[in-house]
Structure formats: structure tokens, C-alpha cells
Structure 1
Amino acid sequence: MVYSAPVSASATSVVLVLSSVLGVVLLGYQEGQWGAVGEVVMLEDRTGAFHINSSDPNQYPVFINGVDVGAVFSTVTASNAERCLKSCPAGQYVSQWCTEAEQNKCSSCPAFTSKLGTGLDTSCQPCVPTHCGQDTYMVPCTSDQTTENQCMPCPPGTYQDNAQHRETSCKSCTDCGEGEFLLSTNCTASNGPLCLPGGIRVLGADGCAEGQWRFSGSLLACETSTSHQNTYLEGGSFGSNTAFTAISRVQIAQGTYNFTCRVDDCCKISLAGPVSVSPISFGTSCTACASCATTTVQQELPSGEYLVQYYGQDVGSSSHYKFFFDRA
């Protein structure tokens, strides 16, 4: 028997006898306690209602989600009660109440929540702390065993720069975004690796800002580049029988790069840093139109900061220059 209700002398009260097998506790009631007809009795976890709504002293129906689970024993109400009072185990909650044909449906607790023990809870409780901070990753609570998340330090070679997160792992110090290349693997737990778009970052030099080149000689000025990762410089006449240089400090990620120049009459590109190289050079002296044709040369470079110098020289009456480099 799931519930029993002795015939009352009046139709104003009913006794609810609870099944010890089901282990259900009615809020504010004890086994055998009388309740008024028409009263709504809540489960202790406040997830379902028992409506004692019959005036028949021999019949006091009890409903869960509209299903009669019966205050008076019968084969039908006993079956309904088993179906509608089905508890969910630890780590699960009642996601859908019973119907005339199906029992309560249980679903697993969402991530970062838990429910300890069996019951008719309709939700799981958030585990604490709800978020972790920089330098850490989260070990989530176990939905059926613990109520606490753990914030653990990032292992060596990883970092986490998000100040409020639920990430279950830290980021690698070697990972860059699409189109970016790693300059250095040195990173702290809260600051990631230095990644360069296109593998190049022009820092400026001698009073010229980031993205600019310092010209000397006949073109004394700061020149801003807006293409080829700020390495592209092109212009018209810079005088006859004259020369100029353009320099900037440039961070370069390890890899192979294509260096290109064209000058009437001679051009040269040189780098000084982790290694000192001159990918393009016209030799010891400039001769007429030695670099009138566009020249491109590949150069392998280690990561680091370089002082890059473009050099152009004119030995005639007209001149034009173009310099840039890209990752191969």
C-alpha cells in the first residue's frame, strides 16, 4: 500500500499514511497526521503538490502533475504513485514530471552543479566558487559527490589571462591565433605568448612611432607604412646623385622571409639583431641601374628584435624606390 486513508466521521479531514518504501516526506506532516479536505500539501523539497480535493469520505485523491496517485489504496493509484514519486539519484534532477503513461524523467546535472543524494529536486545547485581567476584553471565539482569547484594553478608552459572564467585547462604558451606567429615562448601564468600578425611588428626608431621608419639623408622624416605589416615604403624622386636610408626596429618571428627592393639605381636591405645579414646588396659600389629591376631574396631568420635598414642610392638624374618584406 502506498497511501491509506481511514474513513472519517466527517468529510472535513483526511489522514495521510506515508510509504516508508518511497521515503517521501510531506511538508509539515507526519505519518498518520490528519489534514483538511481541499488542502494543498507540498513535498518537503517543494517540488510537487498533493491536492486533497474530494468531499467523499471514502475517496481522497492525491495528484502530482495532474496524475491521481491516490490517498486511498487501489491498484491504479498505487501504480501512479510508483510512477509519479520516482526519485532521481544523486547527480540527477527531475527534469519532467510524470504523465498518465510515463514516470518522472531524470536528467544529469549541468556542468558546475551538483545534487547529493536521491530526491525529487527539480534543479541542481551551483557549485562554488562559481568562477576562477587569472593564473588558474577550474576542476569542476562531481555532480553526485561534491559541491565545490577547485581553482588550480596553471602548470608550467601554460597561462590563463581571463580574470573570471570556468576554463577547465590553461592555454599553451606556444599557441598563436590564425595568421600569427610566435616571437617568444616565454610567458607568465597570467600573460600569454607574444604572437605577431604575419610574424612582423615594426616598432619605430629614433623618435619615429610604431609602424614608422626614420629616413635620413635627402629624405629626412618619419614615414608611416600601412601595408605588408608596416614594412612597405615607396616613393618618387629623392634627388640626383644622392643616397638615403630608412631604419626601424622590427620584431620578427622565426621563419623564412621574402625581402624585396627596387631603386633607381641601387638598393640594399640589411638587418642587425640575433644575426646580422644583408639579404639584398649591390656590392661595394653602385653602378647605374644596378637595382632598376625588382629584386626578391629569401632569408631564414631566428626570432628576435632587429634593426632593419633600407638603403637607396641614385647615380643619375631620376630616381624611384620601393622596399618591403613578408613572411614566405
Structure 2
Amino acid sequence: MRPESEAELADMVATASAPLAVQGGGTRGMTPDGQLLTTSGLNGITLYEPGALTLVAQAGTPVAEIEATLAAENQRLAFEPMDHRGLLGTTGEPTIGGVVAANVSGPRRIQCGACRDFALGVRYVDGAGQIIKNGGRVMKNVTGYDLVKLQCGARGTLGVLSEVSLKVLPQPETETTVVVSGANDVQAVRALSVALGSPFDVTGAAHLPKQGQTLVRVEGFEASVAYRVSELTKLLSGFGEISLKTGREVSATLWVEVRDAVPFHGVDGDVWRVSVKPSDAPELVARIGPTDAIYDWGGGLVWLLLPAGSDLRARLGDLSGHATIVRADDETRDALGMFHPEPAPLAAIGAGLRARFDPRGMLNAGLMNTA
């Protein structure tokens, strides 16, 4: 099913007699059981006010179209959403509704926040086929429950997004990445902690062990960037050899590699995404044994490439974290569950929300279940 309007979407959901598998561009490799319902027909930017830093788009609008529109006004989606296609081997076009539904957020999250922090409003259809509007086109306009934030990360289980309103930000004049070479994982996380704890407004902090590179990004006006890079170079000089990647295009290439987990593209094995306390990240990787890893968010996010069928959660031990399967075969997903098991109180809250927003269990049924 491919509705061409919000009213048609609401009618399809209201009259559905079996579960629906809600999908945007189909780039994340997740297809729950049920009849396919794609929002790709809900397409187009309905409002863009560069002076107000506000953009409104239908849920099926390709992210590439939005980024091109913003770039023409020297603006951007500051939370730099990941493109999953290379990692998962999928096709299609990432859509803005899919980005919001999954709260997809990239390396800049440590500085400016996640996708949900830029979501101003949503329109969606709940499991009963009702059209719901919450939030709006400016900040601080929500009274009552903030359903905008609730929909971010719900992955279509609490409603099918039809339109989203987003805050956008100006593109910085320039950027530079400070590259520290030769640091081991423990040293690298310490270096990232030093950089993030400094007053120099770091917008990216990552470590690529296989490449032996620790990356610290600085963005802004040219004179400001030059000063902050100079100071960061002094702070980080004790952790390894320092080099600079200067200029937006040169620096940005490194961060696309981090954002999209490029080192794992086309490589056999399961891919896991682990949220962990940064200081615990090196121990986590060491405990697993020989493996490829990518550290982002100063070590708070770790991408891991493991042999097919590995149960990472069983090997976490006493480390506190959340491990999500991003790429694996259906057998592994079914056996282990895609998402980390929640504590009983949180699981009860989640089940209660789904029962309230989708009482018939029609929308992406079972997607958020754990093993």
C-alpha cells in the first residue's frame, strides 16, 4: 500500500484487517510481518523558512532532497543522519520520516543533540486511523504531552508519520579535524575526553582503531576554528602524532566514514551498535577479543563487527550498556532480539504506550520486541 495523501493513509490504517509493516524508504533492512505500507507517496517540502530556521516536509520526502534544499540556503540538518545503505546492502532512498521515526543521529549528537532535539512538530496516523497533530513550526509551543519526542525513536509502532517539522541550522564557514595517530583504545578515549571537556566546542569525537586514527572535529568561523584547533593541538599532543584535515570537504569525508560505519561495508559478519559509558568502551572491546570497532560520541557509541551469530549481550558481563543488532541474518535476529531487553518497569511503560496508541496491534507488530 502506498498512500498519496494523509487522508488516504488514515483510511488505509482504519480499514486494515491485518498487521501493517510500516516503511519509509526501505533502507534499514527491517520488515516486520504484515502487509507493506510505505510512506514514500507522501512526498514534498511543504514549508521552508530559512530566516526562521524551520522546515516542514511530508514523511516520505527523501533526505537527499531536503539536504539539497537546505544547502542552497547554506543550511543543514545539524544532527547529520546516517545513511544505512552501504552498511546493510539495501537500496531505496532514506526518507525524513524514517529518520525521525528511528531518531537517526550522527557524530554531531555530542554537541548539538539528537534528531528528536530538532523535531518541532509531527502529524501522524495512530493505530485506529485517527490523524493526530502535535507540536508545530516554532520552538516551545507544546502544551500537554510532548508526542513529538515520543514518536522519535518509536519506529512506527505508535503511529505512521505523515509530516514532520524540523529546526535547521546554518552551515559553518569551515571545519577542521585534528587527527591523532598511534593512540591505543584507552589512550584514544582519554584524548577524546580531554577534547570534549575543553572549552573549544568540539562537534565530533571518534576513534578508528584499525586506521590508528583518533578524530576531533571543530566547526565555525575560520578565525575561531584556527584558534581552537591550535589550542586542541596543544592539549592532544601527548597522545600521539598530530595532523590536520582542513576545509569542509576534506574534513567531512572522515566524518561520513564514521557516521555510516564505512569500514564495515561489504565485510562479512554481524554489526552491533552499543551505547556504553565512554570510559568503559575500551574494556568492552578488549573483553570481546579480536574484533573491528569504531568509537563515536567520545566512546559513548561503539560499532562492532562480530562473527555471524555472536551473542554480544551475553559477553557484556557487568558492563552497563545497550547493545542493538544492526546487521545480522533473520535467524540471529529472531534468537537474540534486535533491541536490548528493557528493565521490567520500562518494558511495561512501552507496552502500555503501544496499547494506547495502537490498541489493535496493527503497526509494525513485534518490531520492538526483545528475545
Q: How would you bin the TM-score normalised by the shorter chain?
A: under 0.3
Tell me the TM-score normalised to structure 1 length. 0.21
Kindly indicate which of the two structures has a greater share of residues assigned to helix.
2
Kindly indicate which of the two structures has a greater share of residues assigned to strand.
1
Tell me the TM-score normalised to structure 2 length. 0.19
Q: RCO greater where, 1 or 2, for CA within 8 Å and sep 6 or more?
A: 2
Q: Which is higher, the Rg of structure 1 or of structure 2? A: 1
